[in-house]
Amino acid sequence: MQTDSIFNNRGLIVVYTGNGKGKTTAALGIALRSVGHGHKVGMIQFIKGEWYYGELTSSKRLEPEFELIAAGKGFVGILDDDHSLAEHQTAAKNAVVLAKNKITSGEYDVIILDEINYAIKLSLIPKEDVISILKLAPRQTTIVLTGNYALPEIIDMADLVTEMKEIKHPYRSGLKAKEGIDY
């Protein structure tokens, strides 16, 4: 095993994908662990944005080391979505610019791009934008991408890919989302 400082200080590209629950939760686990070591973490949420969910409040307890920005307009085309596709696309494109600025600032050890894979799948942003973000990252910065439908090109660039697979889900039994567990 190599132990020189160049290897140990190298950032990773981490992808959490799949149809199972836990992708954002896994990314938040990295954030919690990183903050525990005094690292600076930024999280940009590409879809979430207008509903309340617990990490909006809990993340404030980790400031100033952890910054969460809900850049999206909410879930696209489902539930109470009252935004046009163009509004969602504008929000996602603005999130890409924000991500590039945060990554190139050199201030962050970890950047989490939450639900970015969904943003590609829903045609909110082109895959080329995401690939360019990954290429911009300083060598020491870890980038975490979440969301189902991770593209092969992104998987190929990644150092770590975990696929969450749904085996059983309470929604299938008619149970609604649970506060503190699902949001």
Segment 52-81 mean pLDDT: 84
- Rounded Cα distance, 85 and 94, in Å: 14
Range with lowest mean pLDDT among 1-10, 32-41, 98-107, 166-175 = 1-10
- Is the pLDDT at 2 greater than 50, yes or no? no
- Rounded Cα distance, 66 and 96, in Å: 19
Other CB atoms within 10 Å distance of the CB of residue 78: 7
Q: What percent of the chain has pLDDT over 90?
A: 69
Phi and psi at residue 5, to the nearest 5°: -65, -30
Give the pair of three-digit tokens for residue 94: 């603005």
Q: Chain-wide mean pLDDT for the chain?
A: 90
Exposed (0-12), middle (13-18) or buried (19+): which is 27, by Cβ within 10 Å?
Answer: buried
Range with lowest mean pLDDT among 40-44, 64-68, 75-79, 149-153 = 75-79
- Is the pLDDT at 4 greater than 60, yes or no? no
For the entire predicted model, the pTM comes to 0.89
CATH number among 3.40.1180.10, 3.10.20.30, 3.40.50.300, 3.40.630.30, domain 11-173? 3.40.50.300
pLDDT digits (tens, 9 = 90+) for 40-65: 999 999 987 666 778 888 999 999 99
The DSSP output letter for 59 is G
- Rounded Cα distance, 6 and 9, in Å: 5
Segment 165-174 mean pLDDT: 87
Give whole-number Cα distances, 79 to 4, 45, 74, 172, in Å. 51, 18, 10, 17
Q: Are 39 and 169 in contact (CB under 8 A)?
A: no
pLDDT at 130 (0 to 100):
97
pLDDT digits (tens, 9 = 90+) for 104-113: 999 999 999 9
